[in-house]
Amino acid sequence: MVAKYERIAQELRSKIDNGELPPGSQLPVEQELRVTYRVSLPVVRQALDLLAAEGLVDRKHGRGTYVRHPRQRVRRTPERYQWEKDRVRLPEQQRQRTGATERDTGLTMADLDFKAEFDTVAANDDLATAFSLPIGAKLLRRIYRTQSHVEHSPLSLITSYLVYDIVAENSALLDARNEPWPGGTQHQLYTIGIELDRIVDRIITRPPTIEETEALDLSSGVPIFDLRKISIDTDGRVVEISDAILPGDRTEFVYTTKLTRW
């Protein structure tokens, strides 16, 4: 049986979807919704909290609830990694035309602003274990922020780690001014003779921190996907770890598993 708050949320969601409640418009106040649906205020608030968690509305204390403008969606599939690998040996002119973010969003490079910051850090216990390195080993940390021109928050928060002594074989890989790199990380690794064998994605959901909420402009109650991507080369060595924080209200993961026939 559908709960009362879910039924209210569905009706309001339908009005948002069909344009009856357009972006920027204010929803009826809680007391009005209580009377309209003949429910208690806690039920109304549950419905509004659900819509906020889906990223459809903003609840502004003392001001009301407003329909959010549609956000850029990101659609990630496992095929993106083979797509990146297939591009590694293409001419630079072809690699420059597009990247993984464009593939995931349907946007063009002209639609996006890209920022990269590089520094070095000592491997903590977590990263040392993941890389099979001693604690304190020198890592190159790369922080990436990409956003659409029409939005004021990034699509995700990405922090990538590489073993410094390995990537230092190509000094160009140490300079953030060379980003965005045509062909991305797989091509960067290719320049130092590394071929990836497999990539492992570990995904959990959790509430965002205050900093993540502000950086991604999340509505109250919206969770995040915490994705750790582990890149392993053909010798079985972990060569990159990338931690991506993706907003739960506009990220879609699509996994297709091909099954062996009997």
Which residue has better confidence, 121 or 221?
121
Q: Among candidates 57, 81, 84, which has minimal Cα distance to 68?
A: 57
pLDDT at 1 over 80: no
Tens digit of each residue's pLDDT (9 = 90 or more) over 197-218: 999 999 999 999 999 999 999 8
Q: What local confidence, expressed as pLDDT, does residue 103 receive?
A: 94
pLDDT at 100 over 90: yes
Query: Which residue in this structure is represented by tokens 């980003």?
Result: 179
74-253 has the same fold as 4-67: no
Per-residue pLDDT band for 190 (boundaries 50, 70, 90) equals very high
Q: What local confidence, expressed as pLDDT, does residue 159 receive?
A: 98
Structure tokens at 132: 């099979």
Question: How much is the mean pLDDT over the chain?
Answer: 93
Per-residue pLDDT band for 69 (boundaries 50, 70, 90) equals confident
Q: What local confidence, expressed as pLDDT, does residue 9 receive?
A: 92
CATH architecture of 74-253: 3-Layer(aba) Sandwich (3.40)
Task: Please compute, for residue 112, the number of CA atoms within 13 A of its CA located in the half-sphere on the CB side.
Answer: 24
Q: What local confidence, expressed as pLDDT, does residue 151 receive?
A: 86
Q: Are 131 and 241 in contact (CB under 8 A)?
A: yes
Q: Beta-strand (E) ranges in 89-214?
A: 112-122, 138-148, 157-163, 196-206
Domain ranges for the chain:
4-67, 74-253
Of 41-55, 63-77, 91-105, 162-176, give the range with the top mean pLDDT: 162-176
Q: What phi, psi does 192 have (nearest 5°)?
A: -115, 25
Q: What CA–CA distance (Å, rounded) separates 247 from 141?
A: 22
Task: Return the biggest CA–CA distance within the chain.
Answer: 69
Q: For the stretch 64-77, what's the b/e string if a residue is b when 16 or more beta carbons lie within 10 angstroms of its beta carbon? A: ebbbbeebbebebe
Other beta carbons less than 10 A from residue 13's beta carbon: 18
Q: Are 119 and 141 in contact (CB under 8 A)?
A: yes
Q: What local confidence, expressed as pLDDT, does residue 164 receive?
A: 98
Q: Are 124 and 165 in contact (CB under 8 A)?
A: no
Tens digit of each residue's pLDDT (9 = 90 or more) over 110-169: 999 999 999 999 999 999 999 999 999 999 999 999 999 888 899 999 999 999 999 999
Q: For the stretch 16-36, what's the b/e string if a residue is b when 16 or more beta carbons lie within 10 angstroms of its beta carbon? A: beeeebeeeeebeebeebbee
Per-residue pLDDT band for 177 (boundaries 50, 70, 90) equals very high
The CATH fold assigned to 4-67 is Arc Repressor Mutant, subunit A (1.10.10)
Q: What local confidence, expressed as pLDDT, does residue 62 receive?
A: 80
pLDDT at 86 over 90: yes
Per-residue pLDDT band for 220 (boundaries 50, 70, 90) equals confident
